Amino acid sequence: MKIAILSRNASLYSTRRLREAGEERGHTVQIIDYLRCYMDITSYSPQVIYQGQPLVDIDAVIPRIGATHTFYGTAVVRQFEMMDVFVGNESQAISRARDKLRCLQILSKRGIGLPVTGFAHSTKDIEGLLRIVGGAPLVIKLLEGTQGIGVVLTETDQAATSVIEAFRGLDANILVQEFIAEAKGADIRCFIIGGKVVAAMKRQGAPGEFRSNLHRGGNATKVKLTPDERSTALQAAKAMGLRVAGVDLLRSAHGPVVMEVNSSPGLEGIEKATGLDVAGKIVEFLEKNVDSTKKDRIKY
């Protein structure tokens, strides 16, 4: 099987592990900088060209699309879909999950557990917005933020109002969410492949830090999920249409709530915390689906 990994950086842990896992299982693996791809959209014969050469005989694609290049990255993934190449995550699912507001709206429609969340445009409506969420303490998030960047915990309504006004003054779109104090700075990352939770870890924030991101000094340990947590994570991935996903949960007083659904979840933290070959499981998933008929392929 010939596998293409769409990644801008071949040295990243996740990219390296996916390549190693594919080659260990006897496949040919090529790492492709998707921003260097260009596309021929001719009727009946769509092509993706890379470094001047058409990418032909690709059996499967693993998209690792960065948040800053979602539009072009998903266009490349979509072009492979037009060529009937099996993709680990479809372009529409990646776009859906990458839009935090759209993601939460879809999860809300499905009745999946979420923190109480508000969204508004005008600073004249801040008072009502804070009332919806239940008042301080609360969390304010930039819609475009990643890895904990652009996430602020405010202890008072006055502080929340000041932060919201500052962000809106920069024309930044934000979400306002209730603060889940009982989570105690920890969340759970559920790694899902083909409709199954294959690994899970608990991420604990550094002392004094409410964000649990490993990039911000947090640590990770293997964790056993409750049936409710497993079900919530699977429902969230399915709602997004993601075949490969990282679903982040908080343990709240009213059950598990989804914080985020990630279409390109990192492998380093989950593999080191659990000792599992998650990259190999992704390649195994491709093997099981790449030769199946379209109607038999797993859609999430």
Q: What is the pLDDT of residues 85-116, one digit of tens each?
A: 999 999 999 999 999 999 999 999 999 999 99
Distance of alpha carbon 125 from its chain centroid, rounded?
A: 30
pLDDT bin (cut points 50, 70, 90) of residue 201 is: very high
Is pLDDT above 70 for 296?
no
The pLDDT of residue 298: 52
The pLDDT of residue 122: 85
Helix orientation angle between 227-240 and 100-109, rounded to the nearest 10 degrees: 120
Query: Phi then psi for 128, rounded to 5 degrees?
Result: -65, -35
Walk me through the domains of the chain, giving residue ranges and CATH numbers. Answer: 2-96 (3.40.50.20), 117-179 (3.30.1490.20), 183-289 (3.30.470.20)
Is pLDDT above 80 for 300?
no
Mean pLDDT across 172-196: 92
Q: What is the mean pLDDT of the chain?
A: 91
More confident residue, 68 or 76: 76
Whole-number percent of the chain with pLDDT over 90: 75
pLDDT bin (cut points 50, 70, 90) of residue 147 is: low
Indicate the pTM of the whole model: 0.89
Check if the beta carbon of residue 263 is closer than 8 Å to that of residue 245. yes
Q: Which of 143-147, 156-160, 268-272, 293-297 has the least mean pLDDT? A: 293-297
More confident residue, 230 or 207: 230
The pLDDT of residue 295: 46
The pLDDT of residue 293: 44
Q: If you average pLDDT over each of 40-54, 173-187, 229-243, which comes out highest?
A: 229-243
> Strand, helix or coil at 118?
strand
Query: Residues, the chain, total?
Result: 300
Beta bridge partners of 177: 117, 139
236 membership: H or E segment, kind and range? helix 227-240
pLDDT bin (cut points 50, 70, 90) of residue 146 is: low
26 membership: H or E segment, kind and range? none
Whole-number percent of the chain with pLDDT over 70: 92
Check if the beta carbon of residue 86 is closer than 8 Å to that of residue 289. yes
More confident residue, 300 or 67: 67
Check if the beta carbon of residue 266 is closer than 8 Å to that of residue 66. no
Residue 47 amino acid letter? Q
